[in-house]
Amino acid sequence: MGALPSILDPRSVIMLAGIMGLMMALVVFFMRRSYPPSIGGLGDWALAPLVAFVSTMLFAGRGFLPDFVTIVVANFVLFQACILYYSGSQKFLLGRSDTRGWTLLNGFLGLAMFWFSAVKPDFEFRLVLVTLAVSALFFFHARLYMRDRGMVFGKRLMTGLLLVQSAVAALRFVSVLVGMAGESLLDTSWIQSLYITMYSFTVLLMSIAVILMATDRVHTEFEYLASRDPLTGALNRRALLDACRAAFAHAGRRRVALLMIDLDHFKDINDRFGHLMGDAVLREAVSRMQRAIGDAGVLGRYGGEEFVVLLSGAGQAEAMSIAQQLKQAVGEPFTPDSPLAAVGAMAVSIGVAAGEEGNRVDDVLARADAALYRAKAMGRDQVMAAA
């Protein structure tokens, strides 16, 4: 299993990889312009295959261009392209990027490439250094995805590609140790052809994985925005009622409780301080309610200053206890340095009603609403249970 047919000539495969990378760079670049800026990493992912294209053109010039360009610069640029892919993934998954260690390693590789090409030429040692570094980078890149939750198809594809490329680079590293290094980058041995060909497909498929992941993120964000109240971030009325219907339809033997909540004297706040202050009060009230509820329930904006909390698996007594905690949390006074200090303190009136599987949501809401109005009639800042 020595040389392979000329159709897999390494120089041709390298140039093909560069051209595919250039095409995918253009695809990701134009895709980036139509995607929201909240999706991080697209800039690095668009730049990475473009940088890889430059490196492949330099590699393909081996024998025609100076060795410094086709060995030192080409390897440095190629590894930097791999770092850019990694940086894009960090921004996409973590919202930030830190590749300083890998960039420092790339500088060390550049010096080593120069030494073992111009001062003490040694193809085998250069190959050992490059394949070991590439294998490590791709493995750490794959581990980033393996630690992430929500492995959609695009993420699984990216993880598989990174692991395969890491394994192929490791195999090329081992081939050097067992005396199968070959004589140069353009050697036509099967192991060298596999190494170069796999890189070509990886560049193409990684860009496809990027597009799949970004598209899935866009769909997720649109679905989130479609179900949220734009001012407070709580569920909007449609999503809230859908969640209530689902809870009552699948309650089984568990009880389901609804809290109908009204922010007391909210109209006075708007009249005295203006609607901007009123909006800030609503946001703060929702933030406090969500902290008080935690994972016990779902909060939604029913309309205006009215909110509903869905408590799955809670009976009347437990719902009353949670309602009291919620009322206390909302009523905590503002600190003197708070922008809302002038408002004084917030207060809520709460009506509590419990139901079970098969109950109509509108009926339970009507009972909670009636309890709410009794709480307001009793002087507000009260929690009342439905009759």
* Each residue's pLDDT expressed in tens, for the chain with a length of 387 residues: 444 444 456 677 777 777 777 777 787 777 777 777 788 999 999 899 888 888 888 888 888 899 999 999 999 999 999 999 999 999 999 999 999 999 999 999 999 999 999 999 998 899 999 999 999 999 999 999 999 987 789 999 999 999 999 998 999 889 888 887 676 666 666 676 677 777 777 877 888 899 899 889 888 888 888 899 989 999 999 999 999 999 888 877 778 999 999 999 999 999 999 999 999 999 999 999 999 998 889 999 999 999 999 998 888 899 999 999 999 999 999 988 999 988 888 999 999 999 887 788 999 999 999 999 999 999 999 999 997
Q: Specify if 60 maps to a domain.
A: yes
Give me the pLDDT at residue 82, please. Answer: 93
Q: Specify if 181 maps to a domain.
A: yes
Give me the pLDDT at residue 382, please. Answer: 92
Give me the pLDDT at residue 5, please. Answer: 46
Instruction: Kindly state whether residues 198 and 316 are assigned to the same domain.
Output: no
Instruction: Kindly state whether residues 301 and 379 are assigned to the same domain.
Output: yes
Confidence (pTM): 0.70
Q: Specify if 107 maps to a domain.
A: yes
Instruction: Kindly state whether residues 98 and 56 are assigned to the same domain.
Output: yes
Instruction: Kindly state whether residues 220 and 274 are assigned to the same domain.
Output: no
The CATH code of the domain that includes 179 is: 1.20.1070
Instruction: Kindly state whether residues 220 and 128 are assigned to the same domain.
Output: yes
Q: Specify if 1 maps to a domain.
A: no
Instruction: Kindly state whether residues 132 and 276 are assigned to the same domain.
Output: no
Give me the pLDDT at residue 2, please. Answer: 47
Instruction: Kindly state whether residues 182 and 295 are assigned to the same domain.
Output: no
Instruction: Kindly state whether residues 94 and 120 are assigned to the same domain.
Output: yes
The CATH code of the domain that includes 309 is: 3.30.70.270
Q: Specify if 302 maps to a domain.
A: yes
Give me the pLDDT at residue 186, please. Answer: 61
Among residues 196, 226, 256, which one ends one of the domains?
226
* Gap between the Cα atoms of 288 and 328, Å rounded: 10
The residue segments making up the domain with residue 123 are: 6-226
Q: Specify if 209 maps to a domain.
A: yes
* Gap between the Cα atoms of 225 and 146, Å rounded: 27
Number of structural domains found in the chain: 2
Instruction: Kindly state whether residues 204 and 291 are assigned to the same domain.
Output: no
Q: Specify if 151 maps to a domain.
A: yes
Among residues 226, 255, 275, which one ends one of the domains?
226
Q: Specify if 231 maps to a domain.
A: no
Pairing of strands 348-355, 383-385: parallel
Instruction: Kindly state whether residues 79 and 211 are assigned to the same domain.
Output: yes
**305 among known catalytic residues:** yes
Among residues 192, 226, 260, which one ends one of the domains?
226
Catalytic position from the list 221, 223, 305, 318: 305
Instruction: Kindly state whether residues 116 and 264 are assigned to the same domain.
Output: no
Instruction: Kindly state whether residues 183 and 258 are assigned to the same domain.
Output: no
